[in-house]
Amino acid sequence: MDVLSKLHPPVFTRLPGRRTRLIRRWLAACLLVTGVVLFAHPGSARGAPTTPTVVAARDLPAGASLHAGDVRLADFPGETRPEGALSTLDVVEGRQLAGAVRAGEPLTDVRLATALAASGDPGTATVPVRLADAAVAGLLAPGRHVDVVAPPEPGASASVLAAGATVVEVGRQDASPKALGPPDKGPLVLLRLPEAIATRVAAISLERPVTVTLR
């Protein structure tokens, strides 16, 4: 009998080992599923309510006109969601950025210009510029007409780059650490110009500071 017992152990002595393996496999599967949920929805997995938030899909420069490939939705818990963050993609379609943003950065209402570039008159273009003096931007308002002036260069006097430009939007000064661009310059100003000179003004404003004279 002892010999038979050694050759053929009772069935109940083999069950615990098989049951243990099944439990381990089940626990491993549960941990894997939990990890996937935590990765895809970190806020909701912790029980914190989340809100769909529009974020930049890539690094975007100031003045960029936003389209579907430039933005995406991400879930943000309430404690990490910035004030004024946008929730739907359709509200940013065709809008212009009032300041540069990094990939993954939430877009807020102050990051967008209120006017659409497409709303200008035929034959015009909207150009983003930063003025040499931040205080001048405080004197501007949408609809105001200005002349864009380039400062004098060695051996040459100041020159008017564009006469009668229309102020489309004056962005707010962003004092956050994430704000890009030299801190001594003013907020981004969108100017509507004839297409024939818009490219020249945009190029020169990147090379050297410009200012405006009020009309």
Domain ranges of the chain: 2-40, 48-112, 114-215
CATH architecture assigned to 48-112:
Alpha-Beta Complex (3.90)
Residue pLDDT tens, the chain, 215 long: 555 455 555 544 554 667 777 777 778 777 777 766 565 555 544 566 888 999 999 998 876 778 889 999 999 887 888 888 888 888 888 887 777 789 999 998 877 765 444 445 678 888 888 888 888 888 887 778 899 998 777 666 778 888 888 888 887 655 554 444 444 566 788 888 888 888 888 888 888 778 898 88
Distance in angstroms (rounded) separating the CA atoms of residues 185 and 130: 6
- Taking CA atoms, 73 is separated from 2, 49, 57, in Å, by 70, 16, 9
- The residues near 131 (Cβ < 8 Å, ≥ 6 apart) are 137, 185, 186, 189, 209, 210, 211, 212
Assess contact for 104 and 55: CB atoms under 8 A.
yes
Q: Are strands 145-150 and 211-214 parallel, antiparallel or unpaired?
A: antiparallel
